[in-house]
Structures are given as structure tokens and as C-alpha cells.
Amino acid sequence: MMSNIFNFELPKFPLDKITLAILDFLTEALAGVTKIASNFIETGVEGLGEGIIAVPTLVVIAVITFVVWKFIGRNLGIFALIGLLVTWNLQLWDATIYTIVLVLLSTILALIVGIPLGIWAALDDRVNKVITPILDFMQTMPPFVYLIPMIPFFGLGTVAAAFATMIFAVPPAIRLTNLGIRQIDKELIEASESFGTTPAQKLLKVQLPLAKPTIMAGINQTIMLALSMVVIAAMIGAGGLGGKVLAALTRFRPGEAFEAGLGVVIVAMLLDRITQNVAGRRRKSPAETE
Amino acid sequence: MDKKVMIQIKDLYKIFGKHPAQAKKLLSQGVSKEEILNKTGQAVGVQDTSFNVYEGETLVVMGLSGSGKSTLIRMLNRLIEPTYGTVIVDGTDVTTLDDDELRMFRRKQFGMVFQSFALFPHRTVLENVEFGLEIQEVDEETRRNKAQESLELVGLGGWGDYLPEKLSGGMKQRVGLARALTVDPAILLMDEAFSALDPLIRSDMQDELLKLESQVQKTIVFITHDLDEALKMGDRIVLMKDGKVVQIGTPDEILTDPATRYVEKFVENVDITKVLSAEDVMLKHQHVVTLKDGPRTALHVIKEFGLAGVMVVKQNRELVGYLSAEAAVQGVKNEDAWIDHICTQEVPTVPPDEPLKQIFPMVADSRDPIAVVDEKRNLKGVIYRGSVLAALAEQGEQMYDE
Ligand SMILES: Nc1ncnc2c1ncn2[C@@H]1O[C@H](COP(=O)(O)OP(=O)(O)OP(=O)(O)O)[C@@H](O)[C@H]1O
Ligand SMILES: [Mg+2]
């Protein structure tokens, strides 16, 4: 008798159909934009990726090692050399390059959007008030939530992955640019204004240079988020190391999955160390003798 | 007086908050700043302030923390927007300028020096000093030369290539001063520019600014909360309390005339048992040196605790004299071994129960502190000029509250 209460049928709310209708409309409306973006990213990733892959692998490894060694330090140079040789040996070279290119491209997109937004939020309290809760919300979402809405716009593949990655990775760029500018000592801003700086002079000569370490920390975080997303984006058909991991897992080949996973770790450590080093750089007095 | 008025401040108010009109009305009804803040949430920074600054003078604005000094000075170049009233600088009403005009005005009229120096850490000393000219898009060679000139003016000619972090506090503030001077402004605004420096360096900087002033002839608005500094630097002093001007006058007028009135008023209003004596205003646990200490130890104590000097006593705390920082430095230089040779024996003394009324003229006359001693000439405490005023201000505040 009790069960009666629980047995009646409530018609299902057609959320799926409504969503579909909205998405259809948006896809249609934004078709022009998405088309251009698709072409841009597709040619970017493929052109760059294939270009690098076409060069003999050892040459690429040598160049990267040299640059890292020269500009950052011996230890990291050696790490780059060994790490890249390992990926090559494990036959993950193409996937590694694809992943790095996709990460860097998505990061650049994220920075193009994120840094100006961060500056805007820092200079205008109203913008800050709108943006902050949105960023908070974005950062509570698990990454794959960003994948699904991309499919109707871009289909499966690289472009959808790049956009999902950009959106997922943009919050720290906005947040830390904003923070970096806001936390500048008030007297320094007053000093600048007391000399009659225009807003542009103040921004370029005082605020951005002083916020730079914080902005660089934001860029580092953006890159790391982009990498994690690029790996997960294998679920919507992004290739690369994430694709290898996913393929190995679905076919239950833990050994291969481990190899590809190692590739991800190597790329992660390389990108992290390099950006942290660049970020941590401080200006030395020209007068200082070393 | 036919001195030219450089800055004319008229009925100036700054009220922080969304409803200044309400706060202003309450102010005019005599409601206190605190009450207004509690009742309406409006913070009164400066209220009903009018005075002139004459060309070429150094005007010191003095007051306790929160009295509105920083707010006032920032309204002169509109780093803080006045809520009501006008500021007329060299004939121009600053409050009516639009953004562009204000920028131009700041560039040519004002140089500002800050309490925590506010040097740009990412620029070298020279790049800091040339900042103002760079903003005016003066060509690189000219501005480098001008910047170098002002660095030399403050004695830091060889430091242009260093980053500010390599410099000591005193040097940093010299750079701050040079940076302000490079644009050759008509007016220097200095907000507690020397407050962050330790006493010896501070006194050096004061001398240096006085010297500079005689060379460059600027109008200076100088903020401090230190009476000694105000007396030393100011042609005239503006005393502020609760965002309002309570007195304007020359150092002499401030010290003698209004001060004694203040005391009289205080004595007639307050119960006689509450009248202050030397005991009440003296500092009890001041550092002293004994005869067995050398000048070096004395100088160390002076530096360590940021004093202008120390009292010298025998082992049993019997007073010997007073050793100023300068005398200690001199003693160390001359390698004088005996502290009683270099200290002055002519230190003014009072008994602990000496009424404040008697102490006031003594403080006004002497730069050195007063020793409070008992019948056996044992040191009980020390009175500085500042401590008398602080005690009075405190009492005055209590009177207000009653
Ligand atoms: N941005 C602000 N918002 C609200 N109230 C403020 C603001 N700036 C200053 N005030 C208030 O205005 C009053 C005067 O402050 P101001 O900084 O001018 O004092 P000051 O005399 O310079 O003190 P100090 O010696 O501590 O520097 C204080 O009561 C302060 O709390
Ligand atoms: Mg202040």
C-alpha cells in the first residue's frame, strides 16, 4: 500500500530537448565564428606539430636542450635532454609534440583573453565584482564539464579540445593579473599619479612591470591547467599523449598506459620548471658585480 | 604682508562615504567625527579647513595620527578628490580641472615625496629620478642629464645604476627627493617624508632639506607628527586635530602663546587633584649610560633605541649630565675615553612634583630633554618636548569627551 505513493509516474522534464534546442540555435548563430576559429586552430596545431615532427627528432631535442641549458640552467637542460629522449625511445614523440603544441596554443589563446580581462578587472571594481564569482564558479567545475558543450560547436577533435582547454585554463591568468595589479603598494600608484601619468603610462610603466611576477605565476598555472585539460580532452578526440593513455586504458593495456602517462609527467615537469624559472627572474642592478 | 599666495585652501572638506551631505550637516551642528562615523558610516578626513601657503615658505602641517594630514596634502594635487571646497594653486582652481588639465598641472606644479619612499623597485635609481621627465616625454639625453644633476644635488651622484633595494633608508629618501626635484616643480609636497628614518639620519635629512631649500627656493608643504621636526623645518605650522585646523602660527607662536592658553584652560577646567606634574609626563624607563661606559657604548645605545641622546648617571643613578647623539659621535671621533668629558652638565632638572605649568616654558627654551630628579639628584625619569605635548593632547581629548 505504501508503495503506491512512490509508484506514480512523474513525467520527465525534457531538459535534454531544451538544451539541444538552445545548442542548435547557438551553433547556427555562431557558425561563422566557429568556422574561422576552427580553421585557425586546426592549421595552427597541425602546421606547427607536423612541421616540428618533420624535422629529425634528434635535431629538435638538441635545439630544445640547448635553449633550456643556455637560458635557464644546466640541470634543467639535462632533464630536458633525458626526458625528451625517453619519450622518443618509447615511441611517443609525435604524441608528445602534438600535446605540447596544443598546450601552448591553448595557453596563448587563454592569455590573449585572460590578461586583458585581468587588467580590466583590476582597474574597474565593477568588472571585478562581476568576474570574481564567475571565476569562482568556473574553478569548482570538474574539467570534463567543459568538454561536452564544445562538441556541438566544433565536433570532436583538436579544435574542441583547444577551446575547452582555453576556457578551463583561463581563470588563473585573469585572477593573478588582477591580483598582481591590485596588490601594488598604494604609495607607488600615488607616486606615479603625482607625476601626472596618463592611465596608459601608469599601466605600462608602473602597474604591469610591478605585477609581472604575479602575472608570470598566473601564466605558469594556466599552462599547467592547459596540460591537464589537453590530456583529459582525449575523451573528445584530442590525440596526443592523452589519447595514448585513453586508448591503452580502454583496451586494458596498463603497460602502454603507464608509458604514455610517463610522457605526460615529463612534459608537465618540463613546462612547469621552464615557466617557473622565467617567472622567478628578477632584475639585477646593472651596477652589481657578480 | 605682500607675500604671494601660492596655495589657497578654502572651506575644504573630505568626507569618505556615499552620503557626504548628511555628514557635513551633522558637522555643522557640532556632532563629532566619531559619532558621525558610528551613526552614518561616513568617515570625516578633513573638515572646514581654510588657510594660505605663501610662495617660498615651508609650511608644516602637524597633528596626531588620523588628524587628516595625509588627506589634506593629497587634496592639493587631487590624489584625493575634495568633497567640498576649493584649492587654488598659483591662481588656478585645481578642483575644476578636467583629467587632462589636471595631469598637466601635476607635471609642472608638484613634486611629491612619500613616507615609505615609494621608489619604483623595478627601475634603477637614475630611472626613478628621471621618471617625471620620462612621463613628460622629454628626450632621453636631456632627462638623463637632469636626473643626474638632481642625484648629485642630494649627494648620490654615483648611485644611478643601482636598484633602490640596495640603498639604505636615508639614501632611498634622498632619491625620493631627487625624483621630486627633477621636474623642477613649484611646490614640494612631503608627507611624513622623514618619519621612517632613524633619528640621526633623520636629523641629517632635515639639515639637508633646509640647505636645499635655501638653494632652490621652493614652496614646501611638509607633514609631520613630530613637534621637534615641525619647529625645525617650519616657517609656519598648521596644527590639525580631527580633520580641522586648531592653530596656525610661527613656531614661536605655537610654542608659547596658544600652548600656555591651552594649559590655563586645562587648569581651570579640571579638578585640581588631576593637574599633571613632572612625574606624570616623564618617561620612566629611558635608557641611560653610566660613567663606566665609553662613548662607543653610549652611541650604540642611542642608535639601538633611536634616541636623540641619553642621560648619564653614576652607578647609584645620581645624575651626571646629558649626552646628545652629536656629542657622542664627536666623542667617538676624538677617541675621548671619558663620558663625563663629553656630556653636558647643564641639563635642566625638575623635581617629580613640579607642576607642568612650570615645565612648559623650560621645554620651549631647550632642545635637550629635562631630567626629573629627587632630592638626592637621583634620576627618576626624562621629559621630552614631545612627551609634554602628547600628555596635554591626551588630557585635552579627555576634556573633550567629558
Ligand atoms: N580611504 C579612506 N576611507 C575612509 N576613511 C579614510 C580614508 N582615508 C583616510 N580616512 C580617514 O580619514 C582620517 C584622516 O586620515 P589621514 O590618513 O589623513 O590621517 P593622517 O593625519 O595622515 O594620519 P597618520 O599620521 O596616521 O598618517 C582618519 O580618520 C582616517 O581613518
Ligand atoms: Mg598620514
List the CATH number of the domain containing A231.
1.10.3720.10
Q: How is the beta sheet containing B319-324 ordered, strand by strand?
A: B288-290, B309-313, B319-324
Query: Does A85 fall in a domain?
Result: no
Indicate the pTM of the whole model: 0.75
**Nearest bound ligand to CA B80?**
1
Q: Do B106 and A196 touch (CB under 8 A)?
A: yes
A137 touches A199 (CB < 8 A): no
Query: Does B225 fall in a domain?
Result: yes
Residues 108-147 on B with a CB inside 8 Å of A are: 110-112, 114-116, 118-122, 124, 131-132, 134-136
Query: Does B287 fall in a domain?
Result: yes
Cα–Cα distance, B122 to B83 (Å, whole number): 35
pLDDT confidence tier of residue A271, bands split at 50, 70 and 90: very high
Show the DSSP H helices in B183-277 as ranges. Answer: 199-216, 227-233, 251-255, 257-269
Domain containing A254 equals 17-54+90-285
Query: Does B294 fall in a domain?
Result: yes
- On average, the pLDDT of chain B sits at 85
- On average, the pLDDT of chain A sits at 88
First vs last C-alpha separation in chain B: 41
Beta bridge partners of B383: B370
Which residue, by CA, sits nearest to atom 25 of ligand 1?
B65
Which residue, by CA, sits nearest to atom 7 of ligand 1?
B16
- Tens digits of residue pLDDT in A38-57: 888 888 888 888 888 888 99
Which chain A residue has the Cα nearest residue B116?
A187
Least confident residue range of A74-83, A226-235, B126-135, B221-230: B221-230
Q: Say whether both B263 and B331 belong to one domain.
A: no
Q: Say whether both B233 and B285 belong to one domain.
A: no
**Interface of chain A toward chain B, CB-CB under 8 angstroms:** 185, 187-188, 190-198, 201, 205-206, 209-210, 212, 283-288
Q: Residue range B144-157: average pLDDT?
A: 92
Interface test with B, best of A183, A188, A195, A206 (most B CBs within 10 A): A195
The closest-lying atom of ligand 1 relative to the alpha carbon of residue B69 is: 21
Q: Is B63 in the pocket of ligand 1 (CB under 6 A)?
A: yes
A251: exposed, middle or buried (Cβ count in 10 Å: 0-12, 13-18, 19+): exposed
The last residue of a domain, from among B224, B249, B270: B270
Query: Does B381 fall in a domain?
Result: yes
ipTM of this complex prediction, to 2 decimal places: 0.80
Query: Does A65 fall in a domain?
Result: no
Which residue, by CA, sits nearest to atom 3 of ligand 1?
B16
Q: Is B295 in the pocket of ligand 1 (CB under 6 A)?
A: no
Q: Say whether both B118 and B209 belong to one domain.
A: yes
**With DSSP H G I counted as helix, E B as strand and the rest as coil, what are the percentages for chain B, rounded to 5?**
45, 25, 30
Cα–Cα distance, B200 to B238 (Å, whole number): 25
Q: Say whether both B126 and B200 belong to one domain.
A: yes
Q: Is B66 in the pocket of ligand 1 (CB under 6 A)?
A: yes
Q: Say whether both B300 and B265 belong to one domain.
A: no
Which chain A residue has the Cα nearest residue B100?
A198
Q: Do A193 and B79 touch (CB under 8 A)?
A: yes
Give the mutation target among B60, B69, B239 for probing the ligand 1 site: most ligand atoms within 8 A of CB: B69
Q: Residue range B154-178: average pLDDT?
A: 92
Q: Say whether both B158 and B189 belong to one domain.
A: yes
Instruction: Compute the Cα dihedral for A191, A194, A199, A202 and give only its sign.
Output: negative
Q: Say whether both B250 and B283 belong to one domain.
A: no
What pLDDT, on the 0 to 100 scale, is given for residue B248? Answer: 87
C-alpha cell at A280: 622567478
Q: Say whether both B264 and B283 belong to one domain.
A: no
pLDDT for residue A2 is more than 60: no
| Domain total of chain A | 1
% of chain B exceeding 90 in pLDDT: 42
What pLDDT, on the 0 to 100 scale, is given for residue B338? Answer: 79
Q: Report helix, strand or coil for A55.
A: coil
B158 shares contact with chain A (CB less than 8 Å): no
Cα–Cα distance, B191 to B172 (Å, whole number): 15
> What would the 3-class secondary structure string for B197-211 be?
CCHHHHHHHHHHHHH
Query: Does B116 fall in a domain?
Result: yes
Q: Say whether both B250 and B180 belong to one domain.
A: yes
Q: Where residue B198 sits, what CATH number does that domain have?
A: 3.40.50.300
Q: Where residue B385 sits, what CATH number does that domain have?
A: 3.10.580.10
Q: What separation in Å is there between the alpha carbon of B241 and the centre of ligand 1? A: 12
Q: How far is A133 from chain B (nearest CA, A)?
A: 25
pLDDT confidence tier of residue B223, bands split at 50, 70 and 90: very high
Cα–Cα distance, B50 to B116 (Å, whole number): 28
Q: Say whether both B145 and B28 belong to one domain.
A: yes
- Tens digits of residue pLDDT in B338-376: 787 888 888 888 888 887 777 777 777 777 888 899 888
Query: Does A68 fall in a domain?
Result: no
Q: Residue range A97-124: average pLDDT?
A: 94
DSSP string for residues in A83-100: HHHHHHHTT-HHHHHHHH
Q: Say whether both B248 and B330 belong to one domain.
A: no
Domain containing B265 equals 5-270
What pLDDT, on the 0 to 100 scale, is given for residue A77? Answer: 92
In sequence order, the 6+-apart residues with CB closer than 8 A to the CB of A48 are A101, A105
Query: Does B86 fall in a domain?
Result: yes
Which chain B residue has the Cα nearest residue A202?
B135
Which residue, by CA, sits nearest to atom 4 of ligand 1?
B16
Q: Which of A133, A175, A179, A166 is nearest to A44 (CA)?
A: A166
Q: Which residues in chain B have Cβ-Cβ distances shorter than 8 Å to A195?
A: 106-107, 131-132, 135, 183
Q: Report helix, strand or coil for B358.
A: helix
What pLDDT, on the 0 to 100 scale, is given for residue B325? Answer: 85
Cα–Cα distance, B138 to B133 (Å, whole number): 6
Q: Say whether both B247 and B386 belong to one domain.
A: no
pLDDT confidence tier of residue A110, bands split at 50, 70 and 90: very high
| Domain total of chain B | 2
Q: Which of B78, B169, B186 is nearest to B118 (CA)?
A: B169
B377 touches B318 (CB < 8 A): yes
Query: Does B400 fall in a domain?
Result: no
Instruction: Compute the Cα dihedral for A101, A103, A105, A108 and give only its sign.
Output: negative
Angle at A159 between CA A158 and CA A164, to 5 degrees: 100
The last residue of a domain, from among B270, B296, B323: B270
Which chain A residue has the Cα nearest residue B182?
A195
Q: For ligand 2, an ion, list residues with CB under 5 A.
A: B 70
Query: Does A121 fall in a domain?
Result: yes
B352 touches B277 (CB < 8 A): yes
Side chain identity at residue A49, one-letter code: G
In sequence order, the 6+-apart residues with CB closer than 8 A to the CB of B144 are B126, B130
Q: How far is B307 from chain A (nearest CA, A)?
A: 28
Query: Does A6 fall in a domain?
Result: no
**Nearest bound ligand to CA B114?**
2
Q: Residue range B165-171: average pLDDT?
A: 90
